[in-house]
């Protein structure tokens, strides 16, 4: 019986070839004792555990990526306000939790957009 190609599955996101290689070495030693069904169930278990652990490790990143992010120009165009006004609201504490990207530029989230909408409604009301 040859070891299936699925054992050497490897990608940038789920790199499990190391676990599979260790299993291949042990398998060669005990291959006479294992039948096909047990071998395949072991391979599937190794793959499943590796993939689930990688997904759990990356789970928080996936959550963060799912929310929309806006640049300063997007916000200014959407609400017809100047950059100076937007930055002033942030410095006065009206707008909190503004994120930064790797360059230090402001990145606005959905919660920031909702806060800006409230500020705009308050500004228009009174």
The yes-or-no verdict on residue 125 having pLDDT over 80 is: no
Question: What residues have CB less than 8 Å from 60, skipping those under 6 apart?
Answer: none
Contact (CB, 8 A) for 25 and 55: no
Q: For residues 124 and 61, which has the higher predicted lDDT (pLDDT)?
A: 124
Angle between helices 36-66 and 17-30 (to 10 degrees): 170
72-125 is a CATH 1.10.1660.10 domain: yes
Tell me the domain boundaries of the chain.
5-65, 72-125
53, two tokens: 């652990």
Q: Residue 27: its pLDDT value, please?
A: 66
The yes-or-no verdict on residue 76 having pLDDT over 70 is: yes
Confidence of residue 47 (pLDDT cuts 50, 70, 90): confident
pLDDT, averaged across the chain: 77
Q: For residues 5 and 99, which has the higher predicted lDDT (pLDDT)?
A: 99
For 92-103, what is the mean pLDDT?
92
Whole-model pTM: value is 0.47
Confidence of residue 31 (pLDDT cuts 50, 70, 90): low
Distance CA 126, CA 123 (A): 6
83, two tokens: 């950059």
| Cα distances (Å, whole numbers) of residue 80 to 72, 85, 89, 98 | 12, 10, 14, 19
Contacts 24+ apart (CB under 8 A), 51-60: 51/14, 51/16, 54/13, 54/14, 58/13
């Amino acid at each position: 019986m040859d070891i299936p190609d699925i054992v050497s599955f490897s990608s940038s996101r789920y790199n499990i070839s190391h676990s599979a290689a260790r299993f291949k070495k042990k398998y060669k030693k005990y291959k006479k004792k294992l039948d096909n069904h047990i071998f395949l169930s072991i391979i599937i278990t190794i793959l499943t555990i590796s993939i689930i652990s990688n997904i759990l490790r990356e789970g928080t990143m996936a959550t963060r990526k799912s929310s929309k992010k806006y640049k300063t120009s997007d916000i200014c165009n959407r609400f017809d306000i100047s950059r100076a006004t937007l930055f002033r609201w942030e410095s006065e504490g009206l707008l909190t939790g503004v994120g930064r990207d790797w360059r230090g530029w402001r990145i606005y989230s959905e919660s920031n957009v909702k806060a800006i909408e409230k500020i705009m409604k308050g500004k228009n009301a009174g």
